[in-house]
């Protein structure tokens, strides 16, 4: 069997991970209407989205990283159903990603609102998944929103990489926005970095604060300095 060129090596494992998560929260098989699609159908659609050729940072590797970090932080959630909702939100949070659009989080949340009820997930869990997806637009969950804290920390943990890892991340982000001229990209990216640095804390879980906060602020500050130096030479 020929494997498609854009098929990720972890494709089959991810399909099983999705299925386990979905089955943990959807209605019992006997309560599902006839013709309810297989969980695999949703996994294939989502994985195809994450493998779109225009993506450079928001790729299947990013999905894997966020899922793994949700697992690392899962004890901060309020029970197994909350963990499952965060995992589902991780699957959907960048499922729609068009770099030239500013509505990706909203469109990703709407995708979850359409797909999850069809897959047999309750309205309450669907609403929670959509809410969590929308939080990734600001990465600023309310105090006590433990599920939001876990998803946002998992998504932002890339900021705490080594200088070499962070440089690779920043370069991939630039590649996704290759359609922008340098001056426009620098201005927009600098605004994003300033917004993140203005947050009282980047990370809200105890693990995130202890392990990621210092390195992330160092990396963001360094990138912002490089961007503003570039602006000065325009």
6-27, pLDDT tens digit by residue? 789 999 999 999 999 999 999 8
192-220, pLDDT tens digit by residue? 999 999 999 999 999 999 999 999 999 99
More confident call, 31 vs 127: 127
82-127, pLDDT tens digit by residue? 999 999 999 999 999 999 988 999 999 999 999 999 999 999 999 9
Taking CA 60 as the corner, what is the angle to CA 96 and CA 13, rounded to the nearest 5 degrees? 120
Residue 145 has pLDDT above 90, yes or no: yes
Residue 5 has pLDDT above 80, yes or no: no
Residue 94's φ and ψ, nearest 5 degrees, are: -125, 25
pLDDT given for residue 230 in this prediction: 67
Residue 1 has pLDDT above 60, yes or no: no
- Show Cβ contacts of residue 230 under 8 Å, excluding neighbours closer than 6 positions: 182, 186
When pLDDT is averaged across residues 68-88 and rounded to a whole number, the result is: 98
Hunting for tokens 């946002």 — which residue is that?
Answer: 152
With beta carbons less than 8 A apart as the criterion, state whether 129 and 93 touch.
Answer: no
Residue 26's φ and ψ, nearest 5 degrees, are: -80, 165
Could you tell me the domains of the chain? 11-232 (1.10.1300.10)
Hunting for tokens 């994985």 — which residue is that?
Answer: 47
């Amino acid at each position: 069997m020929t494997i498609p060129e854009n098929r990720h090596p972890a494709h089959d494992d991810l399909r099983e991970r999705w299925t386990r998560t979905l089955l943990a929260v959807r209605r019992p098989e006997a309560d599902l209407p006839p013709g309810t699609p297989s969980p695999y159908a949703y996994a294939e659609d989502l994985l195809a989205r994450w493998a779109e050729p225009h993506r450079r940072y928001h790729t299947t590797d990013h999905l894997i990283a966020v899922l793994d970090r949700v697992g690392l932080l899962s004890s901060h959630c309020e029970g197994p159903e909350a963990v499952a909702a965060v995992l589902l939100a991780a699957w959907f949070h960048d499922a729609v990603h068009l770099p030239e659009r500013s509505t990706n989080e909203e469109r990703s949340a709407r995708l979850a609102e359409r797909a999850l009820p069809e897959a047999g997930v309750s309205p309450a869990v669907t609403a929670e998944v959509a809410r969590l997806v929308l939080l990734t637009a600001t990465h600023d969950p309310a105090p006590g929103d433990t599920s939001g804290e876990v998803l946002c920390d998992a998504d932002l943990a890339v900021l705490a990489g080594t200088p070499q890892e962070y440089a690779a991340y920043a370069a991939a982000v630039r590649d996704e926005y290759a359609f922008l001229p340098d001056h426009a990209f620098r201005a927009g990216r600098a605004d994003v970095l300033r917004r993140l640095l203005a947050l009282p804390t980047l990370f809200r879980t105890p693990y995130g604060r202890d392990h990621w906060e210092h390195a992330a602020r160092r990396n963001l500050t360094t990138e912002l300095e490089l961007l503003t130096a570039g602006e000065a030479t325009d």
